[in-house]
Amino acid sequence: MDSLNHSQNNNSNDEKEDQNNLITEKPKEKTNKENTIEKSNNNKEKKEKQAREPFRKILYLKQDYPDNYIDDSFLEKLILNANVHPLKFWEVSKSSLAITQQVTIVIIFCLVFFHALTNTITITHFFILDIFLVLIGYFIFLLILPIKTISINKFLHHLKVLLVLLVLLYCVSPVLRTLTQTFSPDTIWALTIILFVIHLLSQDYDYINGLSDKLNAPLSLNAAIFASVILASRLDSDMLVFAFVSFAIEIFGFFPVIRHMAYKLSFKIHFLLTFLMCFGTFVSIYVFNRFFSFLFVGVLLMMSVFIPGIFTYLHRYKITVNGPWDEAKPAPLYSLMN
Amino acid sequence: MIEEKDLFKPEEKRYRILMASDFFYPNVGGVENHIFQLSQCLIKRGHKVVVCTHQYKKRKGIRYMTNGLKVYYIPKQPTFRQTTLPTLLNSLPMFRNIMIRERIDIVHGHQATSCICHETITCAREMGIKTVFTDHSLFSFNEIGSFNLHKVSNYSLAEINHVICVSHTGKENTSLRAKIHPIKVSVIPNAIDASQFTPDPSKKTPGEITIVVMSRHTYRKGVDLLIQLIPIVCKKVPNAKFVIGGDGPNRVNIEEMREKYNLHDRIEMLGFVPHELVRNVLTRGDIFLNTSLTEAFCIAIVEAASCGLFVVSTAVGGVPEVLPSHMIKFAKPDAEQLAQAVIDSIGPSQEVDPWLFHSQVKNMYNWDDVAERTEAVYDKIQFDVQQPLVNRIHRYFNCGTWASKAFCFALALQFLFMLILEWLMPANEVDIAPDFPLKQFLKNKDKLNQSWTKSYKVIERANEK
């Protein structure tokens, strides 16, 4: 330990040296004897330093230094935390809202399923819900879009897509209803849970938080739609299945787009939306089961306060080490090939 | 050739050294060559050297190579990239047996990715044998694979007596990732057998600028850079020709580029070139091009400079330390800058005196010098004292928050296992292998050669019949 400090004290950039010390934690078990030998060696070296040629980091010349000589330039090209910026709790908490939204959506979806299963929602209610969501969603979509880009052709195109989707879904809904008839309910619940976990883990939260402009989460969407299809297969009538799956497409397929646009528009809207979703979920769970509703509040607090707190706290221990030993990253091949 | 008078080391300063690595002949590569050449030079200096490596297909058991270099091909199957599976206890009995049989004084492990290297070092540590480790590569800190490797190195190198690195950059890297005090790390470069790499200016094609590339065609060796660079150079220099040797997964991409830019007459692809024929390819060239993205010590550029070629290289890792500025031109790892460097070095490459380059390189790097410096390391560590178990556990306990507990557990396990082994197979009951009688061998070498050639002829005749 001593010898290293010795050689490093000469160096002017003290801050860096301290960090170096942190990284190269030296084994302290050197016997005193060894230490004194090294010290005296170092002193000798210092005296000779004036007379000798300065040390150079080269291999082709035999230099007048021992092979294990530690020069002042040792580790001077080391770069610590080149791309690490200290995180702020509020920023982490802010970006965790996207995850909160996604979790509430999954919970709402499951609640709606249980209501459909126990026939507390009738088909009529379901269709009203679907149409209401589509209209409201499209209305917000139009509101947020820049006015210049709106045209009648675009509207017709959207309408066409919607109709094709609905007709297709209507045609396959009898098949979907009988899809898992031979399966035990346990399999279905287990599969659904696994699929929703996959959905939550692989969702493109960057997109919802406005960091990227293209939704890139095919696995997430597939998992959610698959889960909704196998849940739908437990329902009684074809029409209910049709309504239920279209509901799933609305909230898993289209809703992220709206949320992305809302975030881009202003954070206040995003926050308000999250709050409304959380509140709505809380009320619907409260009606269902009082205990679960408080559990839900606990989960929310954990996601937006507790975990971001831990994350920011632990982030200060992050050290990235870069240096001349890193693999160089040349420009990707296609940039010149094309 | 070794003469008897070369064996000048006094008896008490001769060591029995075990070189341990997954990488050895018949596999070909830089580490393999390093171990072989270093062993030969150490034998020449009077030491006994034993190599321990895993089996290569049917090659298992004990073999003798040049000058009585004994090689143990131990029965462990290689799995991924010629490395064996890491075990904590399984291989210890075998290594312990080898070390007792050969009366080993020093265990010298090579290459951080080799499991045999780490296992022998931990085994030697339990037996109180001095350990040295040579690191041949650089590892970055931002890959998931390296994390595990760093932890393994951390464990096996915690009590190492000395570490040798091939470049100053390597020293920084190793002391950081294995958490070793830099005073315990020596820099001893690689070397080449300069007599194998002599220039031959008559092989050059007059009126053409031949640029030689010799590397495995993998991403890490900078194939992408090469593919981008060749069309630029070919466009700007009409008489430039590329000779590309080597094989690898990315070879197809180079061929694709050759098709696309219609450069069949400008690029010659040689495929895999055996090491002994590399010189014949190098002597054809004016410029040697190295596009590696990371490199601890680039032996290829030293070989090229020894053959009298001007070198153009990416300035990565330890490469800037290897050659003096009048032999090499550096560029950033970027295709256009590298292409410009190649074009700029056409002038200097025509003024190179190949034999001057050769004699300079010969003085810079030779194996005898490497062996001498390695021997100095061996001499130095003889004074290290084996610590009692309590101190050792304390040392491992400082290795990290979570890893340290696992390390202590592993250490205790290995310690107990060695006690059980000592009880089952006491060290004094293990047969001692006789040392190779090098003196007598050298004295009677001619006679032996004659009798061997005779017996070969008998075998050949038998085969003919």
ipTM of the complex: 0.71
Q: Is residue B6 part of a domain?
A: no
Strand-strand pairing, B185-187 and B209-214:
unpaired
DSSP single-letter state for residue B321: G
What confidence category does residue A46 fall into, taking pLDDT thresholds of 50, 70 and 90?
A: low
* Separation in Å, CA of A191 to nearest CA in chain B: 31
Cβ of A332 within 8 Å of Cβ of B224? The answer is yes
DSSP single-letter state for residue B81: T
Q: Is residue B316 part of a domain?
A: yes
Instruction: Please give the Cα distance from B373 to B365 (Å, whole number).
Output: 12
Give how many domains chain B has, as a whole number: 2
B398 vs A contacts (CB less than 8 Å): 25, 27-28
Element (H, E) at A262: helix A255-265
User: Nearest by CB to A323, which of B172, B185, B364?
Assistant: B172
Cβ of A328 within 8 Å of Cβ of B224? The answer is no
* Domain co-membership, B43 together with B114: yes
Q: Is residue B139 part of a domain?
A: yes
A321 vs B contacts (CB less than 8 Å): 141-142, 176
Instruction: Please give the Cα distance from A204 to A202 (Å, whole number).
Output: 6
* Domain co-membership, B200 together with B124: no
Q: Residue B331's domain is classified under what CATH number?
A: 3.40.50.2000
Closest CA to A310 of A92, A81, A94: A92
Cβ of A324 within 8 Å of Cβ of B391? The answer is no
A76 pLDDT higher than 90: no
* Domain co-membership, B154 together with B247: no
Instruction: Please give the Cα distance from A210 to B456 (Å, whole number).
Output: 78
* Domain co-membership, B171 together with B244: no
Q: What is the pLDDT of residue A121?
A: 82
Burial class of residue A76, CB neighbours in 10 A (0-12, 13-18, 19+):
middle
Q: Is residue B164 part of a domain?
A: yes
Q: What is the pLDDT of residue B11?
A: 62
* Domain co-membership, B187 together with B300: no
User: Nearest by CB to A320, which of B142, B253, B321?
Assistant: B142
* Separation in Å, CA of B149 to nearest CA in chain A: 15
* Domain co-membership, B159 together with B198: no
Q: Is residue B222 part of a domain?
A: yes
Instruction: Please give the Cα distance from B146 to B151 (Å, whole number).
Output: 9
Which residue does chain B place closest to A60, by CA atoms? B364
* Domain co-membership, B247 together with B281: yes
A28: contact with B, CB 8 A cutoff: yes
Q: Which two tokens stand for residue B295?
A: 């490199």
A3: contact with B, CB 8 A cutoff: yes
Query: Any residues with CB less than 8 A from the CB of B182 and at least 6 apart, and which?
Result: A4, A24, A68, A70, A74, B171, B172, B175
What phi and psi values does residue B326 have, to the nearest 5 degrees? -80, -5
Candidates B181, B256, B258: best to mutate against A (most CBs of A within 10 A) is: B181
B253 vs A contacts (CB less than 8 Å): 333
B230: contact with A, CB 8 A cutoff: no
Q: pLDDT tens track of chain B, all 465 residues?
A: 455 555 555 566 788 999 999 998 888 888 898 999 999 989 888 888 999 999 888 888 899 888 889 999 998 888 877 788 888 888 899 999 999 998 898 999 999 888 899 999 999 988 889 999 999 988 888 777 788 888 888 888 888 889 999 988 888 888 888 888 888 899 998 888 888 888 888 888 888 888 999 888 888 888 888 988 888 888 888 888 899 988 888 888 898 888 888 888 888 888 888 888 888 888 888 889 999 888 888 888 899 999 888 999 998 888 888 888 888 888 888 888 888 888 888 888 888 888 888 888 888 888 888 998 998 899 888 888 888 888 888 888 888 788 888 899 999 999 999 999 999 989 888 888 888 888 888 888 788 778 777 777 777 777 776
Q: Give one DSSP letter per residue of B384-397, joined into a string.
A: --PPPHHHHHHHHH
Instruction: Please give the Cα distance from B450 to B456 (Å, whole number).
Output: 10
User: Nearest by CB to B321, which of A27, A59, A320?
Assistant: A59
Q: Is residue B121 part of a domain?
A: yes
What is the pLDDT of chain A when averaged over all its residues? 80
Distance of CA B415 to the CA centre of its chain: 31
Cβ of B293 within 8 Å of Cβ of A328? The answer is yes
B316 vs A contacts (CB less than 8 Å): 324, 327-328
Is the omega angle on the peptide bond into residue B26 within 30 degrees of 0, that is, cis?
yes
Q: Is residue B317 part of a domain?
A: yes
What confidence category does residue A219 fall into, taking pLDDT thresholds of 50, 70 and 90?
A: very high
The answer for A270, left when phi > 0, alpha when psi is -120 to 50, beta otherwise, is alpha
* Domain co-membership, B202 together with B61: no
Q: Is residue B452 part of a domain?
A: no
Instruction: Please give the Cα distance from B272 to B256 (Å, whole number).
Output: 18
Closest CA to B233 of B293, B286, B308, B284: B286
Instruction: Please give the Cα distance from A135 to A49 (Å, whole number).
Output: 82
* Separation in Å, CA of B304 to nearest CA in chain A: 15
Which residue does chain B place closest to A3, by CA atoms? B183
- Specify the range with the lowest mean pLDDT, choosing from A3-12, A267-276, B209-218, B407-416: A3-12
* Domain co-membership, B143 together with B72: yes
Using DSSP's 3-state secondary structure scheme, residue A239 falls into helix
**Paired residues of B244 in beta bridges:** B213, B269
Q: What is the pLDDT of residue A167?
A: 93
Q: How many CB pairs under 8 A join A and B?
A: 141
* Domain co-membership, B359 together with B392: no
Instruction: Please give the Cα distance from A92 to A100 (Å, whole number).
Output: 13
Element (H, E) at A96: helix A89-117
Which residue does chain B place closest to A80, by CA atoms? B141
A80: contact with B, CB 8 A cutoff: no
Cβ of B253 within 8 Å of Cβ of A28? The answer is no
Cβ of B183 within 8 Å of Cβ of A24? The answer is no
* Domain co-membership, B137 together with B222: no
Instruction: Please give the Cα distance from B46 to B16 (Å, whole number).
Output: 10
Cβ of B294 within 8 Å of Cβ of A4? The answer is no
Q: What is the pLDDT of residue A3?
A: 43
Closest CA to A78 of B153, B173, B321: B173
User: Nearest by CB to B335, which of A60, A321, A331?
Assistant: A331
* Separation in Å, CA of B458 to nearest CA in chain A: 50
Which residue does chain A place closest to B225, by CA atoms? A330
**What range defines the domain where residue B130 resides?**
12-191+369-429
User: Nearest by CB to A67, which of B186, B322, B391?
Assistant: B186
Chain B, residues 69-98, CB within 8 A of chain A, namely: none
Q: What is the pLDDT of residue A158?
A: 86
User: Nearest by CB to B140, which of A3, A57, A325?
Assistant: A325
* Domain co-membership, B236 together with B201: yes
B376: contact with A, CB 8 A cutoff: yes
* Separation in Å, CA of B30 to nearest CA in chain A: 18
